[in-house]
């Protein structure tokens, strides 16, 4: 049970990190266009 919870937390963390990275790239692109 504990191992499953750790895996889920890792997946959620990596998913959020990927979203943050994607938004960071979008923000930079918008700033570059402005």
Q: Give CA–CA dist 10/20, Å, rounded.
A: 15
Confidence of residue 8 (pLDDT cuts 50, 70, 90): very high
CA distances (Å), origin 14, targets 3, 9, 31, 32: 17, 9, 26, 27
**Residue among 25, 15, 17 at smallest CA distance from 33:** 25
pLDDT at 34: 66
Q: Give CA–CA dist 24/11, Å, rounded.
A: 20
pLDDT at 5: 94
> How many domains does the chain contain in total?
1
Q: Give CA–CA dist 9/28, Å, rounded.
A: 29
Confidence of residue 4 (pLDDT cuts 50, 70, 90): very high
Instruction: Note down the domain range covering 19.
Output: 1-34
């Amino acid at each position: 049970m504990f191992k499953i919870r750790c895996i889920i937390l890792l997946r959620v963390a990596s998913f959020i990190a990927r979203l943050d990275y994607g938004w960071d790239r979008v923000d930079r692109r918008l700033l570059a266009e402005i």
